[in-house]
Structure 1
Amino acid sequence: MTGERNLAQLLSGMRPRLNPGRYVFTSVQDGPPEGTAPIVSVAEDEGLTLVVRQEEADAAGLPYDYVAGWITLRVHSALDAVGLTAAVAAELAEAGLSCNVVAGFHHDHLFVPYDRVTQAVELLDALAARSV
């Protein structure tokens, strides 16, 4: 099943969903510690970046300095679609919200400051409504 490429369709069909919990970014050298179930992992020269639930990071003694809410854009976006990330980032940036985007095979996932996650969902819902 191929994903959507039409930007207007991508934006109007985002249907952002807030996933429960608090998520943190951390870095390890030897793989995920026992008791963690990473949502995302990225291999970098400096180590393995993990996005995990805050309580898992705390239990494992992992350092972090950014606590995020996780929003899934439920539109099935094609990996070669153009403009969705830019439009979403611009909308959130206008409100002073940082946004860390991870592309999955089916969906895009946004990590935004936890204390402003409700505002981020509202902004994305409004962007979707304007894009119909």
Structure 2
Amino acid sequence: MAVPERDVERMLAGLEPFLRPGTYVFARADVPPAGVVPAVTVAEDEGLTVVCTREEAEAAGLDYGFAAAWITLRVHSALDAVGLTAAVSAALAEAGLACNVVAGYHHDHLFVPAGEGERAAELLRRLSGGGARPG
């Protein structure tokens, strides 16, 4: 198994952003309903946040707010690495793009406004190609 990367410059150089197909939504549920396969769940004091496809949410009758495009950063970043989230968030914020970041065991996952996935992925490819932090 590959060792997770901790060096911010190498993480940025190896971002390899992958735009997943579809639209994902953030919904609230007591438990994920039948037919909903969450991409992400977050247990909060106020209830369970479920991130799933818009189609699944609508079929299950879930109310949702934020509709997003899902980008996976294929670099295997260490969970205790410093600087990757800040650099990526700064680049997207500079372009006026909201971003919700979820860290998985192997990769970071970005949820940007639906319809902005291609633009966000291109910005991240440029950030990766330069290997330098924005600023």
Interval containing the TM-score (normalised by the shorter chain): over 0.9
Query: Normalising by structure 1, what TM-score?
Result: 0.97
The C-alpha deviation readout for 1:67-91, integer Å capped at 9, x for no partner, is 1000000000000000000000000
Per the alignment, residue 60 of structure 1 pairs with 60
The answer on 1:110 being equivalent to 2:110 is yes
- How many residue pairs align between the two structures? 131
Per the alignment, residue 79 of structure 2 pairs with 79
Per the alignment, residue 8 of structure 2 pairs with 7
Cα RMSD for the two superposed structures = 0.9
Structure 1's consecutive aligned runs of 4 or more residues displaced over 2 angstroms after TM superposition are none
Partners of 1:8 and 1:43 in 2: how far apart?
33
After TM superposition, give the deviation of residue 16 of structure 1 in Å. 0.2
Per the alignment, residue 128 of structure 1 pairs with 128
After TM superposition, give the deviation of residue 45 of structure 1 in Å. 0.5
Partners of 1:80 and 1:90 in 2: how far apart?
19
The C-alpha deviation readout for 1:84-111, integer Å capped at 9, x for no partner, is 0000000000010000000000000000
Per the alignment, residue 32 of structure 2 pairs with 32
Tell me, which stretches of 5 or more residues in structure 2 are unaligned? none
Tell me, which stretches of 5 or more residues in structure 1 are unaligned? none
Sequence identity percentage: 61
After TM superposition, give the deviation of residue 114 of structure 1 in Å. 1.0
3-state secondary structure, aligned to 1:65: strand
